[in-house]
Amino acid sequence: MAAYILWGVAVASVLGGVIGTAMAGLAWRHRDRPAMSAFGWLMVVCAGWAFLAAAKMLSSDLETVYLLEVLIRITSSCIAPLLLVFVLAYTGANEYCRPTVIGAVFLVPAIYAVLVVTAPEHTLASGPESAQFVTQHEATIGVVADDPASTVESIHTYAVLALGLGLLFRFLLRSRAIYRRQTAIVAVGAMIPVVVDLGMKVVPLTHPSVDLTPASLGVMGLVLGWGLFRYDILDVAPMASDILVAELPDPVFVLGEDGRILDHNRAAATFFEAEALSGRQIDEVAPGLTGNVDGNAVYSRPETDRDEITYFDPRVTAIEDQHGIERGRLVVLRDVTGQQRRQDRLEALQAATQHFITAGSTERIAELTVTFADRVLDQDAAAVYVHEPETDTLRVTAVSDALEGHYSEATKVVDEPEHPVFETYRDGEIAVKDIGDDYPDTPFPHLLLVPIGDYGVLLIGSTERGAFVTEDEQFATILARTTQVALAQVERERELRQSRQSVERRNEQVEFFNGTLRHTLRNALLVIEGRANHLRNHVEEPRERHLDRIVQWCEDLAELSHDIDAINDTVSATEARQLDEIALASVIRRRLDRLTPEFDDVEVELDIEDDATVRANDLVEKVVDSIVSNAIAHNGGADPRVEITVRRIANRVQFRVADNGPGMGDEMKETVFERNVGTSQTSHGFGLYFVSVMMNLYGGTVWIEDNTDENGDCMGAVAVLEFQQGETQHTSRSAENEVS
C-alpha cells in the first residue's frame, strides 16, 4: 500500500510541475500585463521544485538523492520571496518592488543557498554523508537530515509567507467590489501550499520523505491562473487603478459609513497639510465638505500660504460590497478653481456691460474700464488712454489707485510714435511689453496693452515678468471691446443729439416760413376774392364767368393751404397724435358722393365691409380722393368701370380700386409713387406721391398691380392700399352696392 502512495505522490508532483510549467508559459505570453512577470517566475520555480521532488522520491542512488535535495532546498527557499514579489505587484505596491527591497527579501535564500552548496566545508548544513535510505511501511526513499540552516530558512519562509498573505488579505478587504472576487481566488490559491505544508508537519504521511507540498504548488498555480485569467481583470488591474488614484493631482478620500477617512491619496495629504488623515472625521479635516458632497455644490477652501481660494467640485462614488450593500464612499475633489475664476470674470464682465450701457461720458466709461480691469484681471494696475483726434495724441483718462500720482500733466499725454502705448494704438494689435530698461522709473515695468479700436488703448501693468497668461489676454480683449462699444454708443448719442438739435432748428425755421407763407397767401386770396366780388357790379353778365373762375381758384388755393397745414402737422406729430380710428367705409362713401357727379359716365361698384376701421387721420379722405380720381380720370375704356373693395386680411385692411382702362406698364408701376412723377401724370391735387407719403405715415403700404380676368388677361390696373387695422371692429358687412 505504501508503494502505491509513493507513486501517487510522485505522479501528483510531476502533474504539479506540468501545471506550473503551463502557467509559466501562459504568463510569458501575457508578460506585458501587470504582475505577469512575477507570476511567471513563481510558476517556474514551483514547477522546478515539483519535478525535483518527484525525481528524488524515485531515485535509488544516494549521491543523486543528495544532489536533488540540495537543488530542492535552494529552489524551495525562493518560493516565499517570489510569492511576496507577486503579491506586491498584484496589489499595486510598486514602490516596494525596487531592487533594494527585492534584494533584502532574497538575502536569506541566497545565504542559505551558499551554505547548502558549501555544506562539505562546515557543519551549518547537512553534507553528503547525511544522506541515507530509509525504509518505512515497505517504502524505501532517500533522506537527508535537517540542519540548523534549514531551520532558520524555514522560519524566514513562514515569515515572508505571512507578510505576503497579510498584504493580500489587506488588499482583499480594501479593494472595490469589482476586484474582490478575483482577489479572493488569488488569496485562496496562495494559501493552498501553506495549508498543505502545515498539515504535513502536523499529520505526516507513511514516510518522512513523502511531501505533498510540491504537488500542491501545481494546484496553487492552477487556482491563481484561473483567478487571474478567468476574470481577465489584468487589463484594468487593481494596482493600475490604485496607482492612478495615488498619482491623481486632485485629493481623493475613501470614507466609511460614519464619515471617517479610511484611505486617501498623496494629493489629499498635501493639500490638507496632514500626513495622518486616516481615522479622522472628514468634517474635521475639511469643514463643510459633507454638506457640499450631499448637496452637489462647489466646495471652497482658502489656501494658507496665499490669499487665494481653491474651488473643488466633489464627485462621489458609492463603494459597494459583493452583495450590493453600500459600505462607504469614494470622494474625488476635482479642482475647478480655474473654471470658477473664469465664471467670476465673465459675471464681472456682464455686470460691466450693464454699467457701460448707462454711462454717459467718455470719462465715466474709462473709469468703469479701469475698475473692472482691477477686479477681473487680478493684476497690479490699469489705465485707459483715450485718443484726441485734434492733436493726434493719447491722453490718460482714468487710472488705478496704484498709479495715482505717477502721472504728471506732461506724462499724461503720449505723442511719441515710438512710445509702446502709441505703437499699440497705431498697430491695432494686442501686445505684451517689458519697458523696465527704457523707463526705469515706472512702477510697473511689465505691460499688457490692448487697443480699444480707434478710441484708445487699455494698459494693464504688473511688477512680475510673465504675469500675463493667455486667459488674461482674452479677458482684457473682451473688456476692451466692451469699452469700444460703449464709447461708440456715446459718440453716436452725441451725434444724434447734435443732429436732433439741427433738425429741430431747421423745423422751426421751416415752420416759421411756412406759417408766414400760408398767412400771406390766405390774406392775398381774401383780397383777390373780395376785389373779384366787388367787380361783379361793374362787369357785364356774360363776363362774370371770369370772376367766378377767379373766386373758385381762390377757394381751391385756400383749401390747399389748409390741407398743407394739416399735412405738416401730421408729418411732425408723433404716431400717437397722428393716428386715429377711422371708419374707412364711411370715408369712401362720402368722397364718392362728391366725386361721381363729375364723372357720371363711369360705373362705380362697391364691395366693402362697413365695420372695417383703420389707423389713419382726416387726411385719409385726400388719399381716397387721389386714388379714386386717378382710376376714374385715367380710365379711357369705351365703357369705363371702377370696382372698389375693402377686405380685412389678418390684422390689415386692404382698400382696392380696380379699373378697366388701358393698364399700366411694369416700369410705371415701380415709379408712379415717386416724387418726380408730377400730378399731371396721375390726377389733379397732390398726386400719388402724396398717397405713398401718407401710407408710410400710417404704417401701411401701397402698390399697383394688373387687373386680370379669369383667363389671366390684363384688363386694367388695380391700386392696392393696405392699412393697419383699427382696434375696434364689428361683424356686419354690406352686400354689393352699385353707385353710378
- State residue 386's pLDDT score: 92
Question: What distance in Å separates the CA atoms of residue 365 and residue 342, rounded to the nearest whole number?
Answer: 23
- Considering the domain 575-739 in this protein, what is its CATH number? 3.30.565.10
Residue 493 has pLDDT above 90, yes or no: no
- State residue 245's pLDDT score: 60
- Side chain identity at residue 586, one-letter code: S
- State residue 735's pLDDT score: 38
Which one has a higher pLDDT value, 594 or 410?
Answer: 594
- State residue 545's pLDDT score: 79
Which one has a higher pLDDT value, 296 or 461?
Answer: 461
- Kindly write down the DSSP assignment for every residue of 626-684, as one continuous string: HHHHHHHHT---SS-EEEEEEEEETTEEEEEEEE-SS---HHHHHHTTSTTS-GGGS-S
Residue 6 has pLDDT above 50, yes or no: yes
Residue 574 has pLDDT above 60, yes or no: no
- State residue 645's pLDDT score: 94
- Confidence band of 525 (pLDDT split at 50, 70, 90): confident
- Tell me the domain boundaries of the chain: 2-239, 248-335, 575-739
- Confidence band of 307 (pLDDT split at 50, 70, 90): low
- Kindly write down the DSSP assignment for every residue of 545-610, as one continuous string: HHHHHHHHHHHHHHHHHHHHHHHHHHHHS-HHHH-EEEEHHHHHHHHHHHHGGGGTTSEEEEE--T
- Confidence band of 234 (pLDDT split at 50, 70, 90): very low
Which one has a higher pLDDT value, 470 or 293?
Answer: 470
- State residue 682's pLDDT score: 39
Does domain 248-335 match CATH 3.30.450.20? yes
% of the chain with per-residue pLDDT over 70:
80
Average the pLDDT over 302-322 and give the result.
66
- Confidence band of 646 (pLDDT split at 50, 70, 90): very high
Question: What distance in Å separates the CA atoms of residue 386 and residue 404, rounded to the nearest whole number?
Answer: 17
Per-residue pLDDT of 27-49, as tens digits, reads 888 777 777 888 888 889 888 88
- State residue 235's pLDDT score: 39
Average the pLDDT over 664-683 and give the result.
68
Question: What distance in Å separates the CA atoms of residue 210 and residue 360, rounded to the nearest whole number?
Answer: 104
Backbone angles phi, psi at 718, to 5 degrees: -130, 125
The contacts of residue 101 (CB under 8 Å, 6+ apart) are none
Cβ neighbours, 10 Å, residue 657:
23
- Confidence band of 410 (pLDDT split at 50, 70, 90): low
The contacts of residue 706 (CB under 8 Å, 6+ apart) are 663, 664, 714, 716, 717, 718
- Are 82 and 97 in contact by the 8 Å Cβ rule? The answer is no
- State residue 578's pLDDT score: 61
Question: Is residue 715 helix, strand or coil?
Answer: strand
User: Percentages helix, strand, coil for the chain, rounded to the nearest 5?
Assistant: 55, 20, 25
Cβ neighbours, 10 Å, residue 252:
20
- State residue 703's pLDDT score: 92
- Confidence band of 14 (pLDDT split at 50, 70, 90): confident
- Confidence band of 217 (pLDDT split at 50, 70, 90): confident
Which range is least confidently modeled, 127-136, 238-247, 398-407? 238-247
- State residue 456's pLDDT score: 92
- State residue 240's pLDDT score: 44
Report DSSP state, residue 260: B
Question: What distance in Å separates the CA atoms of residue 219 and residue 676, rounded to the nearest whole number?
Answer: 110
Q: Minimal CA–CA distance to 632: which of 685, 562, 669, 676?
A: 685
Residue 657 has pLDDT above 90, yes or no: yes
% of the chain with per-residue pLDDT over 90:
8
- State residue 681's pLDDT score: 41
270-274, 315-319, 511-515 — most confident range: 315-319
- State residue 738's pLDDT score: 41
CATH superfamily, domain 2-239, is: Rhodopsin 7-helix transmembrane proteins (1.20.1070.10)
Question: How, if at all, do strands 603-607 and 641-649 pair?
Answer: parallel
Q: Minimal CA–CA distance to 604: which of 595, 612, 615, 613?
A: 595
Question: What distance in Å separates the CA atoms of residue 170 and residue 173, rounded to the nearest whole number?
Answer: 5
Q: What angle do CA 46, 51, 55 make, to 5 degrees?
A: 145
Cβ neighbours, 10 Å, residue 518:
17
Which one has a higher pLDDT value, 60 or 239?
Answer: 60
Looking at every residue in the chain, the average pLDDT score rounds to 78
- Side chain identity at residue 65, one-letter code: V
Which one has a higher pLDDT value, 453 or 516?
Answer: 453
Residue 212 has pLDDT above 80, yes or no: no
CA dihedral 94, 95, 100, 105 (to 10 degrees): -60
Backbone angles phi, psi at 244, to 5 degrees: -60, -45
Average the pLDDT over 290-297 and give the result.
65
Q: Report how far apart the first and last C-alpha atoms of the chain are (Å, whole number).
A: 142
Average the pLDDT over 400-429 and give the result.
82
Residue 416 has pLDDT above 80, yes or no: yes
Backbone angles phi, psi at 256, to 5 degrees: -80, 180
Which one has a higher pLDDT value, 84 or 338?
Answer: 84
Average the pLDDT over 93-113 and give the result.
84
- Are 189 and 227 in contact by the 8 Å Cβ rule? The answer is yes
- Confidence band of 179 (pLDDT split at 50, 70, 90): low
Residue 152 has pLDDT above 60, yes or no: yes
Average the pLDDT over 328-338 and give the result.
75
- Are 314 and 332 in contact by the 8 Å Cβ rule? The answer is yes
Which one has a higher pLDDT value, 74 or 471?
Answer: 74
372-376, 572-576, 578-582, 729-733 — most confident range: 578-582
- Are 265 and 246 in contact by the 8 Å Cβ rule? The answer is yes
- Confidence band of 601 (pLDDT split at 50, 70, 90): confident
- Kindly write down the DSSP assignment for every residue of 680-694, as one continuous string: GGS-STT-HHHHHHH
Per-residue pLDDT of 349-403, as tens digits, reads 666 666 777 777 888 888 888 888 877 776 778 899 999 888 889 988 888 888 8
Which range is least confidently modeled, 336-345, 376-385, 691-700? 336-345
Residue 236 has pLDDT above 50, yes or no: no
Which one has a higher pLDDT value, 546 or 595?
Answer: 546
Torsion region of 699: left, alpha or beta (phi above 0 gives left; psi -120 to 50 gives alpha): left
- State residue 652's pLDDT score: 92
Q: Which triple of cell numbers denotes residue 733?
A: 358687412
Question: What distance in Å separates the CA atoms of residue 456 and residue 459, rounded to the nearest whole number?
Answer: 10
Which one has a higher pLDDT value, 179 or 263?
Answer: 263
- Are 349 and 376 in contact by the 8 Å Cβ rule? The answer is yes
Which one has a higher pLDDT value, 168 or 584?
Answer: 584
